[in-house]
Structure 1
Amino acid sequence: MDMTGAEAVIRAFATAGMPALFGVPGGGSSLDLIAAAKRAGLPFLLARTETGAGIMASALAELTQRPVGLLTTRGPGVSAAANGVANAALERAPVVMLADGFGAREAGFATHQRFDQAAMLAPVTRARLIAGPRPPGEAAAEALAAALGAPRGPAYLELSGEAARAPCAAPSPFRPPARPAIGPEAIAAARGLLAGCARPVVIAGLEATAPARTAALRRLVEALGCPALVTYKAKGVIADAHPLFGGVFTGGAAEAPLLHEADLILLAGADPVEFIPQPWRYAAPVLELAEAAPALRYAPPALSLIGAWEEAAEALTEGAAPRPWPPGRVAALRAAWAQALLVPAHGNRGMAPAEIVTETQAALEALGADPRLAVDAGAHMFACTSFWRCRRPGDLLISNGLATMGYALPAAIAAAWHDPARGALAMTGDGGLLMCLGELATAAALRLDLTVIVFNDAALSLIEIKKGARDLPEGALDWPEADFAGVMRALGGAAWRVEDAVGLRAALAEARATPGPKLLDVRTDPSGYPAQIEALRG
């Protein structure tokens, strides 16, 4: 009995390679855990909201491919974090939520702030562990294993103040769960499918962002000479500038012309949670590569390779006969895809969303900046995901499976903290930013190299499109235009108001020379959104 329960939990986290804890502490076990983390050299970052902390943890877990901690107090802390945990669940991010609980001495009388926290989080967690009745280090190790299992996702660990301070044994060294190897018979069958096709196409999904998988998939695509599409989560697995890049796959209409010409579709780590809810529209057989068999499939695969699929991709590359498409065909289809989505605005209320994206990236590249981009949910995300060029996984962060608003700012905070040399850029709608406004104070307190660009059209533009002919009351989908630049200055950052491309470039140049977080409040014309969404989704 050489350590406390809090120290045992933190020891387990540290040996698993956890890079940080995010959260909003309360009483009970929270302060013991933060103190133990300091002694162990595990950073704790204070967020302003529990949901923001959960999104930060999720984004960092995706970037590092490691488990990340989310710390909350009991009761309202747990309930407020639920959206962040749901985000981790549907983005397949290994987050371990560590919440305060009720000790044995409180069991007979404590009802204040008390409900079944584990039961509330059951639908969005891989496992729920209560430390105290079982050794805290053992419970922490089981939570870590659940979070890192296939498919990855969040786990819940509850630790009361009583259990946090009680003596306990040190945990055993943590060993991550192994991935099963894919047998030679399955690989031979996959080779047969490839040998029988003339126009294969690859769709890379979120599992392909792990470094070994990215490398293996790039080699396979180049060996075959076939086009490759990426989901939002897999932007950069095949660089936008690569001659075999075919566009972005969502399950919608924009990518359909390319896929209708394919006679074999390789789904490489593409999780069904990434696709929009439309039926699978392609007749070509599907070769599925995945960590685990998905609970729901859009189309029954002709063959599934389940397990350590990067090894299978390497095996398929060896001796693969090239399967190139006709000269110029991939480039023509890619250009048609991009042109269909490049819809200009036709109002006079500010900049077109696509113009904001392309002008921002061009200006930053000219200034020598290469930030990671975090994108919020909303109509502006279609321009961001289509036209922000990525070179490697993690260049773009997005909540795709859950598609929660209020994502971009906390995700960009995690990215800027993780990699100060690159910094981060958040592109958010005004509605999304209003949902997490307090996290501007987090960015200011941390003095991060973070730029927030607000697509300010004073409305829920995507919901406005969805309303159709419904007669809604005034103010149901819009609000008075907010002065986000004024808010940013009040919270300790620098800010600019932007009306046009000239002003955007000038503001970005000034922002680049300004230390700490900054915000550009960009007046945005939403008039092109309906046509863009029609082109994208059909």
Structure 2
Amino acid sequence: MPDDMGRGAAPATVAEALLADLARRGTRRIWGVPGGGSSLDLLLGMPRFGIDFVLTKHEGAAAMAALADAELTGAPGVVLTTKGPGVGNALNGLACASLERAPVVLVSDGFTPQQLDWVTHQVFDQRAASAPYVAGYDTGEDAASIAALLDTAHRERRPVHLDLTGTTARRAPGARKPRALAEKRAPNLGHGAALLLNARRPVLIAGLEAAEPDAAVALRELAEALGAPVLVTYKAKGVLPDAHPLHAGIFTGGALEAPFVATADLILTVGLDPVELILQPWPYQAPVVDIARRPFPVRYVAPSATLHGPLAASLRGLHRAVHPLDWTMAEIEAHRARAEQALTWDGDRFVSPPDIVRIAQQEARRAGLAPRVAVDAGAHMFSATAFWQCEAPRDLLISNGLASMGYALPAGIAAALHDPARGAICFTGDGGLMMVAGELATAAAAGARLVTVVFNDGALSLIDIKQQSRQLPPAGVRWTRPDFARVAEGFGVTGFVATDAESYRDALRAAFALDGPSLIDVHVDPAGYPAQLRAMRG
């Protein structure tokens, strides 16, 4: 935070009170497309509070970037919009943040009561529009109400909506009331510890809550003390490094992991949110110990025991039940090898998606880089999540709860700006990129060290596969392959085209040598997607 705030200069307006509170919580970047009301007051004040503004090309993309920011920093991610269409455009990103359980703050220009008496242009009920996605709504009358709203976002791990008029933004903020810290109650470990003490083959399944730093450390400690295998959801990639001998691969609730998990006599779900699982019934008979911050409103399985409270405390408390198990490292390794083989295929005409991911990581390491990756929704995500090797939580960013196309590019920009030394890779399909192609200009303007890798197969491949599985004629899911390299160049991003492994490696080496953004248009062989989908989901 700049020196004047450090010396205690008090915010003079509601807009400054909001910025001061965000800065105190660790927010360093706001994303969006501003309007002409309170947006202007916030833009004016951001430099004073050490907060940068990133002008995106669409409010939905801004909300996706804010979501990634929130996951990477733990601080509120913030999206700024104008009234009316700005709020409407942001809603998909807001829905994404809601289902990814992220503290995102939508700050929209609002209408004054006087305006609503006679204005109809661009007017709809903005509060009702955001209501399905947010845990709180406020009009920011003073610093205390703003603090309470931001507390709600943090506590609930969900978005909130601040509908702020220009008149309110320029009002004196009033006193900021000190926040009472919530009491952290220790979980009751009794029955859960007893079940673990009696188990010979427990498995741990890590979900999105386990990606929080303290929880990830505690989970690894418990797994190593037990010698028990750990499976991870997409959101929990890196909670246990992929190269760790206890890492047993991805868990989606599907077929790929089922034979392995079925041999367990106890399943410990650690921060596993039902929103992460595919639409299939829970197939396992072993008792379940649910370890989570609090109960989830929807369940796929009734747990035999629950440990609700801070995850790290629950996991460390279970050390009293550590004892020798029947698992062998050879079993875990054999499962990983079977899963990898089931998801691998060689490209016929072009580069296969598994090789696109593997080669990208090989070339990044060759260049001395360890970029984060952001993965879009689509058939390519099976390869990206399975074959990109993570070492720490948030090494891979993905929309899993909403599984929204158009997520990866704005999330990749956020990751690249969050840690410029590491940079980022965006793995996206051609359909997803076309939804947010304008954000290539955002990457160029920001100088983001981002390599966008486009799996260009000329189709909505995941839907195409489902169409084929019903033996329906192709309709409505295919198009002529765009030339994304030329599109990228038009936005100021260096573009490459790759049609085989050699040209792809050459493009990656050139891209990793750049300080700014680049795009590699990789022509993809989609032939193995149907078999990959069957292996994953059954």
- Same fold per TM (> 0.5)? yes
- Structure 1 CA distance for aligned equivalents of residues 183 and 494 of structure 2: 47
- Structure 2 CA distance for aligned equivalents of residues 124 and 143 of structure 1: 14
Query: Partner letter of residue 333 of structure 2?
Result: A
Aligned to 2:201: 199
Q: Which 10-residue stretch deviates more, 311-320 or 52-61?
A: 311-320
Aligned to 1:434: 434
Q: How many residues align?
A: 528
Q: Note the alpha carbon deviations across 1:87-117, whole angstroms, 9 max, x for none.
A: 1001011101111101133131111111111
Aligned to 1:267: 269
- Structure 2 CA distance for aligned equivalents of residues 179 and 441 of structure 1: 46
Shift of 1:481: 1.2
1:400 aligns to 2:400 (yes or no): yes
Aligned to 1:257: 259
Alignment CA distance shift 1:327-1:472 (3 Å): closer
Aligned to 1:64: 73
SS in 2 for 1:26: coil
- Structure 2 CA distance for aligned equivalents of residues 473 and 284 of structure 1: 42
Aligned to 1:421: 421
Segments of 4+ moved more than 6 angstroms: none
Q: 1:182 aligns with which of 178, 181, 186?
A: 186
* Unaligned segments of structure 1, at least 5 residues: none
How high is the TM-score relative to the length of structure 1?
0.95
Query: Partner letter of residue 293 of structure 1?
Result: P
Alignment CA distance shift 1:266-1:68 (3 Å): same
- Structure 2 CA distance for aligned equivalents of residues 4 and 129 of structure 1: 17
SS in 1 for 2:453: strand
Q: 2:176 aligns with which of 171, 191, 196?
A: 171
Shift of 1:473: 7.0
- Structure 1 CA distance for aligned equivalents of residues 352 and 150 of structure 2: 44
CA-atom RMSD in angstroms: 1.5
- Structure 2 CA distance for aligned equivalents of residues 248 and 88 of structure 1: 22
| 8 Å contact kept, 1:12–1:174 | no
Q: Note the alpha carbon deviations across 1:17-40, whole angstroms, 9 max, x for none.
A: 223211110111101012122222
Alignment CA distance shift 1:2-1:403 (3 Å): closer
Query: Partner letter of residue 157 of structure 1?
Result: L
Q: 2:162 aligns with which of 140, 157, 160?
A: 157
| 8 Å contact kept, 2:202–2:265 | yes
Aligned to 2:58: 49
- Structure 1 CA distance for aligned equivalents of residues 533 and 523 of structure 2: 20
| 8 Å contact kept, 1:15–1:174 | no
Shift of 1:318: 4.5
Query: Partner letter of residue 193 of structure 2?
Result: R
| 8 Å contact kept, 1:9–1:136 | no
SS in 1 for 2:334: helix
Q: Note the alpha carbon deviations across 1:244-299, whole angstroms, 9 max, x for none.
A: 11110000000001100000000000100000010000000000111110001110
| 8 Å contact kept, 1:225–1:324 | no
Alignment CA distance shift 1:168-1:515 (3 Å): closer
Aligned to 1:144: 150
> What percent identity do the matched residue pairs reach?
48
Alignment CA distance shift 1:53-1:174 (3 Å): farther
Q: Which 10-residue stretch deviates more, 4-13 or 317-326?
A: 317-326
1:294 aligns to 2:304 (yes or no): no
| 8 Å contact kept, 2:204–2:270 | yes
Q: Which structure 2 residues correspond to residues 187-266 of structure 1 after superposition, within 5 A?
A: 187-266=189-268
Alignment CA distance shift 1:17-1:180 (3 Å): same
Q: Which structure 2 residues correspond to residues 449-464 of structure 1 after superposition, within 5 A?
A: 449-464=449-464
Q: Which 10-residue stretch deviates more, 360-369 or 15-24?
A: 15-24
Shift of 1:138: 2.1
SS in 1 for 2:118: coil
Query: Partner letter of residue 113 of structure 1?
Result: Q
- Structure 2 CA distance for aligned equivalents of residues 330 and 122 of structure 1: 45
1:123 aligns to 2:129 (yes or no): no
- Structure 2 CA distance for aligned equivalents of residues 179 and 334 of structure 1: 41
| 8 Å contact kept, 1:267–1:287 | yes
Q: 2:341 aligns with which of 334, 339, 342?
A: 339
- Structure 2 CA distance for aligned equivalents of residues 363 and 149 of structure 1: 40
* Unaligned segments of structure 2, at least 5 residues: 1-9
Shift of 1:181: 2.0
Shift of 1:187: 1.2
Shift of 1:488: 0.9
Q: Note the alpha carbon deviations across 1:432-468, whole angstroms, 9 max, x for none.
A: 0000000000000011111000000111111101124
Alignment CA distance shift 1:25-1:330 (3 Å): same
SS in 1 for 2:189: helix
Aligned to 2:493: 493
SS in 1 for 2:327: coil
Query: Partner letter of residue 3 of structure 1?
Result: A
SS in 2 for 1:114: coil
SS in 1 for 2:78: strand
- Structure 1 CA distance for aligned equivalents of residues 88 and 179 of structure 2: 29
- Structure 1 CA distance for aligned equivalents of residues 394 and 28 of structure 2: 17
Query: Partner letter of residue 76 of structure 2?
Result: P
Query: Partner letter of residue 532 of structure 1?
Result: Q
Q: Note the alpha carbon deviations across 1:292-337, whole angstroms, 9 max, x for none.
A: 1000111000011111121111121256223240351111122112
SS in 2 for 1:157: strand
